[in-house]
Structure 1
Amino acid sequence: MRVLLVAGRLEPSGTAMYVANLVRGLRRLGQDVRLLYGGGVYGRMLAEEGYSVTQLDGLGREVYDLFVHRRQVKEAGRGWAQLVHIVSDYVLRRGSGVAQILGLKAVVSFHHIVERPIVLPRSVVRVIAVSETIRTHLVNAGRLPKERIRVVRSGVDIEQAERNCQSRRGEHELVVGFVGAVERRKGLEYLMKAFELLHQRGQRCHLLIAGQGEMLQEVRGWAKRSGLLEFVTLLPNFTSHWEVLAATDILVLPSLQEGYGQVVLEAMACGKVVVATAVGGVADMMEDGKTGMLVEMKSAESLAQALARLLGDAELRRKMGEAGKARVQKLFPANKMCEETVKIYE
């Protein structure tokens, strides 16, 4: 199958990880794949790895007249592509425009809880939800009929994880890491309060927040006001989530809302213990008390208690990290995701 993948901006995010895993995995399965995307480090990374990649900046914009770049779209897919895969609901309209220009059918993947009404273009013949939570939401909210949606859980490139994310060894300051959009829906206000509680109770550790978003200045201001600036690192610009995960001992995801929570799987694949709220697909990924800890939503106290327990017990961190890694390798390999995706293409 010759598939043209269409994406928006591929900056570090769960969707960007999904796209990279899909491109690599489909190629390993013998599929002929090209990527048309709207800019970002993950697209450039795939180009450097030798994959066929075309950057079309407008695909990364909310308001964009795709037909202005009709020639470039045709060059990317006309006479070659057999199917268009719109890899995120965020680019549904733009991706369906690509399919229309090329006269092809399309598949679309949903990664997010969608609050707005959805009108699927006629070119879209299959819908993929990356978690059962997303499919249930789409059906219950009356967005799409259940029979049109197939669940294909997003997976992890195990080889990439083992190659790029080594365990931290020797004496070092313990690091609690957050990777994702620095936005209110991620529960960062509760993480900040929990971090204060840890230090007030004598639990010294470092907080690493990697990502950009509406709360970045607020978080920076909090670190200064709380007197914890020396214990907080903000990393708004980074090129590899593997490097960030390698620098952490515990991944924390205190989200109020998630479509999936891909970074949880990536952390588990690295052997990192995870503390998270049971939102989106997270509850399906983790075994509470075995591969990590699920905490109460909007509760700084619950979060602080879970972090304190793990920070104070290296053996528990190791056991949970190993259990999480084994679970990802068994249930969430990217190869399985790609094999199920190919079946939908066919």
Structure 2
Amino acid sequence: EKAEVHLFTPWKPELEKSLDARVKFQPTLPLSLPGEKRRNLFRQINPLSHLRNARLIRKAGLDVVHFVTAHPSNSLLIPLLGNRLICFTQHDPSCHLGEGSSLRDYLNRRTARLSHRIVAHGQALKDALSQKLPPERIEVIPHGDYGFFKRFAKGEPSEETILFFGRFIPYKGIDVLCKAERLLRKRLDSYEICIAGEGEVSFDSWIDPESRIRVINRFLPDEEVAQLFQQARMVVLPYLEASQSGVLAIAFAFGKPSIVSEVGGLPEAVDFGKAGLIIPANDPEALADAIERLWRQPELRKRIGEGGRDLVEKTIGWPLIAERHIEMYRQLVAD
């Protein structure tokens, strides 16, 4: 039995070139473009934008429409799609500290209520969503592999840095990592912490002249992301709160051990310790202990790194993720 897939997204020539030939590419009217906040707001509230995109989707004659991101305009588009079955991947049950707003939370909750199936990237996230939605409508499908970054890797991997990668947002616990670094100075002779990503954060109160921290605060192309993960001895996620993490999927692909806070779906994402060390949230001492442990024990790093690769092969590889989605669609249509 075959499934016909249509990808609806704003026109991106480089994306079309990378698609499987069996996927039908459908360029939609963009609702958000980088650096155009005012025009983006107009696009998102302009009914003509939604009518045009809805007409394009209806014309394709689809059984199921799956929204894979939590764009606020989803809840405005869904009522225009007629009797199509709707799926929605809800990456976060609610906005995290330092991001989003009550309006965004409301629109995402409305999208979930309008959907026939909601995909959650872990049992912990399903449990959180089940407080407001019928649990039978929620499917647990893990976050997929981000191994495509390995295409941009060059040279041999090294183990030079302790890497934090991602957006600079308060809930990511960057301040906890900086506090842990002060403890590490007394324990390790040679190390460097690389904090790489993008965000409006001031490091002045967190980093002093003695710090062994390098900050890269800008957008990073895929080639640089691959280089950072190649150079990492470990990847740290000292989050204060979380749902799931694409950063972990990159670490798994590169075989790098990780350290995660015991929040949200992160313990489940590292297979409860097999693919990463788990520490209490907001605990610089525990983070420093875990970093020191991994830094000094190459066999432990190897074992945890292999645990991440096993997850890619047995759980989060895209063929497996695709099968689980197709089964969800099939059951939804049958019901």
Shorter chain as normaliser: what TM range?
0.7 to 0.9
Instruction: Name the structure 1 match of 2:8.
Output: 35
1:312 and 1:78 map into 2 onto residues whose CA distance is: 58
Alignment pair present for 1:46 and 2:7? no
The amino acid across from 2:6 in the alignment is V
Instruction: Name the structure 1 match of 2:175.
Output: 189
Report the count of equivalent residues.
304
2:192 and 2:14 map into 1 onto residues whose CA distance is: 29
1:1-346 correspondence runs (5 A): 31-37=4-10, 46-50=15-19, 52=25, 54=27, 56-59=29-32, 64-70=44-50, 72-74=52-54, 76-82=56-62, 83-88=64-69, 90-91=70-71, 93-103=72-82, 104-114=84-94, 116=105, 118-120=109-111, 123-140=114-131, 143-156=132-145, 158=147, 160=148, 163-165=151-153, 168-169=156-157, 174-214=160-200, 216=201, 218-219=202-203, 221-222=204-205, 225-228=208-211, 231-240=213-222, 241-287=225-271, 290-346=274-330
Gaps of 5+ in 2: 34-39, 96-104, 331-335
Identity of aligned residues (%): 22
The amino acid across from 2:79 in the alignment is Q
Contact preservation (8 Å) 1:152, 1:337: yes
2:19 and 2:175 map into 1 onto residues whose CA distance is: 41
2:304 and 2:156 map into 1 onto residues whose CA distance is: 15
Q: Deviations over 1:178-206 (max 9, x none)?
A: 12221111111111111222124344222
Instruction: Name the structure 2 match of 1:5.
Output: none
RMSD: 3.1
Say if 1:263 and 1:45 are closer, same or farther in 2 by CA, change over 3 A: farther
Gaps of 5+ in 1: 2-28
SS in 2 for 1:308: helix
Greater length-normalized contact order (CA 8 Å, ≥ 6 residues apart): 1
TM-superposed CA distance for 1:298, in Å, is 0.8
TM-superposed CA distance for 1:343, in Å, is 2.1
Say if 1:183 and 1:126 are closer, same or farther in 2 by CA, change over 3 A: same
SS in 2 for 1:225: coil
TM-score (norm 2): 0.78
TM-score (norm 1): 0.76
Contact preservation (8 Å) 2:54, 2:81: yes
Say if 1:333 and 1:227 are closer, same or farther in 2 by CA, change over 3 A: same
